[in-house]
Amino acid sequence: MPMYQVKPIGGGPIKTDLPTCMYKLPNVHAQPGNSCTSEHALQNGEVDPAVKALEARQDEIMRKLYELKAAVEGLAKTVTTPDADLDLTVSSSLSSQSLSSTTFKGAVTDLDTLLGKDLGALRDIVINANPAQPPLSLMVLHSLLCQRYRVLSTVHVHSSVTGVLPQLLSCLGPRHADSYARHMFQLGFTLIWKDVPKLQMKFSVQNMCPIEGEANVARFLFKLLAPYPSDPALATLVDSWVDTAFFQLAEGSAKERSAVLRALNSALGRNPWLAGPDLSLADIACYCCVLQSGSASSAPTNVQRWIKSCENLGHFSPAKLLLQ
């Protein structure tokens, strides 16, 4: 006849408050595997310092390996990208000097000279855009501005539109941790999704009329990053590419579009970038319009290569995200 099973009376290890004036010794009576959850753990859940150190070393080696991998990838990108600049994403893992070298090496631009005297308040750039036509180029310029200045980015929906897609609401990235204090920022970038026939930018109501059209707003924003090329011929070239992009690529017929793509192809055959040796507004505008018109995949080879180079620069990713 089997015996009764009796429940333990004591109910597990008894915890007693020990005076702290004595040494602590491991429990000799405890059975292995009962009180220890892992093999190399000691009494009271304390991990052997030797194991800990080993783990830390391994983590450190792994981290270094990842960093190295990222750096090599970044270098590989710069090799394929004609501009000798480093990607936004790898810059953090490399030395801090790359942080200071932004894409645009022109004279350090000063907001006071560009936007007028500081009145001790946030300089807020307000952009009214139609959610039916998200301004991709401005997203790229926004991410470049964020790199240069402390920018407070906010997105609003105007009462004239309803049902704005969630990716349009988060297109300027996550909320800044300091966004509760507007005075801590150098520049405000306020995007308002609104029922407007044409993109519109307002800065100073008193001294400036609203700027209309994505191309013109892009020119304004770009000037906050770098001055226009001092060579007038080059400056005109940039301007003409910007207009071509917005009038013929974005709004033109299929015929016009393919003509522009051919022109781009031949221009990019001679130069790595569209206007001059460096990346310029021309590249940003054309890239975004090619993307928007959906002709990126069917573009000729030089254009394809140039698109790759653009994408290797981190600032172009917001535009791509917005299209998805």
Partner 1 sequence: MTKEEGKGPTEEEQQAQSKKGLKKQQKEAEKAAKKAEKQAKLAAEQQSTEEDDFAKDRYGVSAMVQSQQKLDRALVRVQDLNPEKADQLIWLRARVHTSRAKGKQCFLVLRQQQFNVQALVAVGDRASKQMVKFAANITKESIVDVEALVRKVEQKIESCSQQDVELHIERIFVISQAEPRLPLQLEDAVRPDGEGEEEGRATVNQDTKLDNRVIDLRTTTSQAIFRLQSGVCQLFRDTLTKKGFVEIQTPKIISAASEGGANVFTVSYFKTSAYLAQSPQLYKQMCICADFDKVFCVGPVFRAEDSNTHRHLTEFVGLDIEMAFNYHYHEVIDSITDTMVQIFKGLRDNFQTEIQTVNKQFPSEPFKFLEPTLRLEYTEALAMLHEAGVEMGDEDDLSTPNEKLLGRLVKEKYDTDFYVLDKYPLAVRPFYTMPDPSNPKYSNSYDMFMRGEEILSGAQRVHDAQLLTERAMHHQIDLEKIKAYIDSFRYGAPPHGGGGIGLERVCMLYLGLHNVRQTSMFPRDPKRLTP
What are the residues binding partner 1 (CB under 8 A)?
119-122, 124, 126, 128, 154, 156-160, 180-183, 190, 192, 194, 202, 204-207
Running DSSP on this structure, what letter comes out for residue 212? E
Beta carbon of residue 118, minimum distance to partner 1 (angstroms, whole number): 9
- Complex with partner 1: residue 154 or 186, whichever CB lies closer: 154
Beta carbon of residue 122, minimum distance to partner 1 (angstroms, whole number): 6
Beta carbon of residue 241, minimum distance to partner 1 (angstroms, whole number): 31
Exposed/middle/buried for 11, CB within 10 Å: 0-12, 13-18, 19+?
exposed
Contacts of 222 (CB under 8 A, 6+ apart): 141, 281, 284
- Complex with partner 1: residue 202 or 320, whichever CB lies closer: 202
Measured torsion, CA atoms of residues 121, 173, 180, 184, in degrees rounded to the nearest 10: -40
Burial letters 37-55, b for 16+ CB under 10 A, else e: eeeeeeeeeeeeeeeeeee
What distance in Å separates the CA atoms of residue 265 and residue 277, rounded to the nearest whole number?
16
Question: Would you state the structure tokens that stand for residue 258, as one six-digit string?
Answer: 């393919």
- Complex with partner 1: residue 154 or 295, whichever CB lies closer: 154
- Complex with partner 1: residue 59 or 178, whichever CB lies closer: 178
Strand partners, 126: 190, 202
**Cβ atoms of residues 226 and 148 within 8 Å:** no
- Complex with partner 1: residue 31 or 206, whichever CB lies closer: 206
**Cβ atoms of residues 315 and 103 within 8 Å:** yes
- Complex with partner 1: residue 36 or 169, whichever CB lies closer: 169
Beta carbon of residue 181, minimum distance to partner 1 (angstroms, whole number): 8
Beta carbon of residue 137, minimum distance to partner 1 (angstroms, whole number): 22
Beta carbon of residue 158, minimum distance to partner 1 (angstroms, whole number): 6
